[in-house]
Structure 1
Amino acid sequence: MKSLSLTSKSRSLISRTLKLGIPVAVQSALVSILALADVLMVSSFGEAATASVGIASKWHFVAIMVMAGLGMANGILIAQYWGKGDISRCRKITRFAITAGLVLLVPISIAIVVFAESIMQLQTPDMNVIALGKDYLLYAAPVLLLTHIIIMFESSMRSTGNAVTPLNIAAVTIGVNIFLNYCLIQGNFGFPAMGVAGAALATTIARVFQVLVFVIYLNKRNHWLKKLKFEQRDTAVERSFIKLAIPGVSNAVLWGAGTLVYQIIFGHMGTTELAVFSMFGPFESLCYSVFFGLSVACSVIIGQSLGQRDFEEAKETAKTFLKCNIAVGFAMSTLMFVFRGEVLSWLSLDTDQYLPLSAPAIVVVCWGLWLRMSNLMIINGILRAGGENAFCLRMDFIAMWVVGLPFTAIAAFILGLPFHLVYVAMLCEEIVKLSLCYYRYRQFIWVKDLTLGSDTVKA
């Protein structure tokens, strides 16, 4: 009977993981494909255009980290309240998360456009690249506000077990975006060839479309999120959200700013180095999509178990996901290494101009994948599900700002190492991060109920 019970639990876990993980992984892959499409379509306008999309979009990426921190706090609390069946508080949390994000992002969006030239001079001295990047940021000005609303809707739906609807809406939107890219970047179907500016305008139009589709869907289905405006404020819920969001947002922004500094380092190594780095970014994100799906599924399942105070189930779930993640990560790293030549060809990095840099660097990218993804699972899938945002903030500061960034800068500017060895120096961050995070995971401090009235009960 015990064996049958374990089998039943395993089947249930696999079913819930597939239901949540596959849609999130597919959606993440589609977003990465879109980012690759932007870069590949723009690359026909030259090296400067390719680099400009990379540096301009990185500022949006840092701002999106604010949304990611809010979305994380939103998702953590909703998963636990949903486990308790408290839909009213789920709505209150989502409403507050959307409002707080818009208040933060309006001044950020304005500042990015107004000070575009000054901030991009930090990344590259190439004024041609900066001029193209300014056009991108101008035409993409509304994107951050629209993306924030979308992220909050998606995190709320996923935390209640619905990952398919965000996927379906995203798939249609990405199709629209790629079509608009084809029209506006290269001037097809009678549209002007706008180049970099066309990529930004296509993204803006697609995000407006995505928000409208979400609103129509919520109203048509009489979804629980439809009634956000009717919920009264709940200061106790808002305080619990802020308690999670402040370290979460700080952590996300700290990490996003760190990735920007990495780009600044590679940008000052040269425009060719920056172009190769910009091409590798979306490809790595595409590879990470499978693991991102697993980490979201892990976080939601663990969060709901913690909300129900089923602490042993949460521990077993974490252990299973971590083993699976390591195995899949090693298999994918091996597969990428075997087919690295095809990958470089697909990314148009096999030319005489790029190959001396890209050929050795792709080896580092391949074998660094499983290391990065192990950290992704422990941090986003396990620790954050139990509200360990403050620890993650401290850990990221040490791993990235005390170790990773200084080592990379020393490798690039003091030791003068080649491109691929600077990439290796960047991975020192991941080694430190894995050591700190795995130790924290084994302490099981994250195993606790965060909902109001629970007094943060621990296992």
Structure 2
Amino acid sequence: MMMKARIILSADKKDFYKELFSLAIPIGMQNLLVALISATDALMLGRFSQDAVSAVSLANQVVFIMNLFIGAVVGGGGVLLAQYWGKGDRTMVKNIFCTILKWAFGISLVFFAFAMFIPETLMRIYTPEPKLIEIGTSYLRAVAFSYLFSGITNCYYLMMKLEGKAVKSVYISVVTLITDMVIDLFLIYGLCGVPRLGANGSAYSTVVVELVALVWCITESHKKGSLRPDLQGFKWFSKAITKDMFKVSLPMLGSSLAWGLGFSLHSLIMGHLGSDATAAASITSVAQELITCVCKGISAGAGIMVGKLLGRNMFDKAREYGKRFCYISFWTGGIHMALLCILAPVVTIFFVLSETAKQYLIMMLLFSGVYVFAYSINTIVVCGVFPAGGDSRYDAISVFFASWCFALPLALLGTFVFDLPVMVVYILMCADEIVKLPFILPRYRKYLWLKNLTREEDAAA
């Protein structure tokens, strides 16, 4: 009997890791490839001029904030999509997908208008330096059209993951990465008689690759067996389902805005500490994005896997999966920390930086090793497991207290009142993820995330 139980347990673990790898690896790879697009842009602009990489880093805070809103809509809708998918209600999945598309496009349109019509105002928020404002203003006007495409593309990527076709998003990201690199080479540096556009060249390549990704996603959705939006889905509206969606999305939005605006405020703080600090911090941010792609993939996989089980009322199995993801988060964080510490002395070789900026960069990357360890645990457990059953409020609360009541006030005081050294300010403003760690396990053990959020068809009307 015990031998039979062990065999069942072993088979269950095998199924768990098989499903996790089928989700986490493609999603992680897609995140990595998207991050590589940013990394190659930063690398090529870094070889072009320090001002260009600094200005573009600050200008991209606009799309960063836009993605916080879209991420909340996609994340909240994705929780419901995963549970209804587990329940087997494909009609409801299609209707919710169409709702997410409408919201994502509306958000993209607003930020497109900001970048197109008031770019100089946006740049002045982040830096007082005229040269950076000039470069960033021109860049924002050029890149604005890409915002209209990227929000919709993220919705299609979500559906690919649910349908078990996450590997398709990897193919798309590989092609867009190669396309971006080739166009960047010609437009940034002006090869083969092409005009030398610098930062604007990077903007135009972003527009092209976002359009390519969207067209490819739409084409994939029309293949046999894929779920795609239709007119009935866009007309559909359910007060009850919309309420469910906002019940999950609004805390996610609160968390995203609290974290993201705080992260954007990092750029403001670094921007007021000078070009050296801005350049080093922007490159460190890109390195963090590259390193943490794995934990983001695991987090997305956790949300889908646990959500499907909860939609089927398989609470015991969902609890076991949650426990496994907690262990995985710890080891993932350790690996991320080791990688950043190893890469810290090497990264400076690839950028044209002043000696001061190089010193800042090495020290920032070393401290980031501790930061990404905490970030990995928070991302997998708090942003993956918890929201799968609707417990999205905790992330918003923890971000508010850790960032806005602790890390950011100290960093702002250090910058504008006490005139602390750059590295002291950087450590203070990145301490938020570390402060959250002691509170995760007590919240996990309350099991507020073990909930089935689906409704019957008559209740969804």
| Structure 2 counterparts to residues 42-121 of structure 1, below 5 A | 42-121=45-124
Shift of residue 227 of structure 1? 4.2
Instruction: Name the CA distance, whole Å, in 2 between partners of 1:177 and 1:338.
Output: 28
Instruction: Name the CA distance, whole Å, in 2 between partners of 1:284 and 1:88.
Output: 39
SS in 2 for 1:24: helix
Could you tell me which residue of structure 1 aligns to residue 417 of structure 2? 414
Instruction: Name the CA distance, whole Å, in 1 between partners of 2:312 and 2:14.
Output: 20
Instruction: Select 1:216's aligned residue among 207, 214, 219.
Output: 219
Instruction: Select 2:39's aligned residue among 36, 41, 49.
Output: 36
Q: Is the 8 A contact 1:299 1:384 kept in 2?
A: yes
Instruction: Name the CA distance, whole Å, in 1 between partners of 2:335 and 2:255.
Output: 30
Instruction: Select 2:293's aligned residue among 272, 289, 292.
Output: 289
Q: Is the 8 A contact 1:408 1:426 kept in 2?
A: yes
2:455 equivalent to 1:449: no
2:129 equivalent to 1:133: no
SS in 2 for 1:121: helix
Instruction: Name the CA distance, whole Å, in 1 between partners of 2:286 and 2:156.
Output: 24
1:101–1:43 CA distance, 2 compared to 1 (3 A) = same
Instruction: Name the CA distance, whole Å, in 1 between partners of 2:429 and 2:376.
Output: 15
Could you tell me which residue of structure 2 aligns to residue 191 of structure 1? 194
Instruction: Name the CA distance, whole Å, in 2 between partners of 1:454 and 1:302.
Output: 22
Amino acid at match of 1:91: K
Instruction: Name the CA distance, whole Å, in 2 between partners of 1:225 and 1:5.
Output: 34
Q: Is the 8 A contact 2:383 2:395 kept in 1?
A: no
Instruction: Name the CA distance, whole Å, in 2 between partners of 1:389 and 1:367.
Output: 25
Instruction: Name the CA distance, whole Å, in 1 between partners of 2:259 and 2:101.
Output: 22
Post-superposition CA distance 1:388-427 (Å, at most 9, x none): 2233222221121111211222233334332222222123
Post-superposition CA distance 1:202-224 (Å, at most 9, x none): 100111111111122222x1343
Q: Is the 8 A contact 1:81 1:451 kept in 2?
A: yes
Instruction: Select 1:315's aligned residue among 298, 319, 326.
Output: 319
SS in 1 for 2:227: helix
Q: Is the 8 A contact 2:45 2:188 kept in 1?
A: yes
Shift of residue 454 of structure 1? 10
Instruction: Name the CA distance, whole Å, in 2 between partners of 1:361 and 1:103.
Output: 37
| Structure 2 counterparts to residues 223-262 of structure 1, below 5 A | 223-231=225-233, 233-235=236-238, 236-262=240-266
Could you tell me which residue of structure 1 aligns to residue 368 of structure 2? 365
Q: Is the 8 A contact 1:91 1:224 kept in 2?
A: no
2:337 equivalent to 1:305: no
1:454–1:444 CA distance, 2 compared to 1 (3 A) = farther
Instruction: Name the CA distance, whole Å, in 1 between partners of 2:163 and 2:304.
Output: 8
Shift of residue 449 of structure 1? 0.4
Instruction: Name the CA distance, whole Å, in 2 between partners of 1:343 and 1:275.
Output: 13
Q: Is the 8 A contact 1:185 1:195 kept in 2?
A: yes
Post-superposition CA distance 1:102-137 (Å, at most 9, x none): 223312320233221122112111111011101111
Could you tell me which residue of structure 2 aligns to residue 279 of structure 1? 283
| Structure 1 range deviating more: 102-111 or 330-339 | 330-339
Overall identity of the aligned pairs, in %: 24
Amino acid at match of 2:255: N
Amino acid at match of 1:100: W
2:165 equivalent to 1:162: yes
Instruction: Name the CA distance, whole Å, in 1 between partners of 2:282 and 2:432.
Output: 20
| Structure 1 segments unaligned to the other structure (5+ residues) | none
| Structure 2 segments unaligned to the other structure (5+ residues) | none
Equivalences, count: 454
Q: Is the 8 A contact 2:304 2:388 kept in 1?
A: yes
Amino acid at match of 1:318: G
SS in 1 for 2:25: helix
1:103–1:339 CA distance, 2 compared to 1 (3 A) = closer
Q: Is the 8 A contact 1:52 1:132 kept in 2?
A: yes
SS in 2 for 1:202: helix
Instruction: Name the CA distance, whole Å, in 2 between partners of 1:16 and 1:277.
Output: 36
Shift of residue 230 of structure 1? 3.5
2:334 equivalent to 1:342: no
Instruction: Name the CA distance, whole Å, in 2 between partners of 1:3 and 1:174.
Output: 45
| Structure 1 range deviating more: 360-369 or 284-293 | 360-369
Instruction: Name the CA distance, whole Å, in 2 between partners of 1:109 and 1:379.
Output: 31
Q: TM-score, normalised by structure 2?
A: 0.94
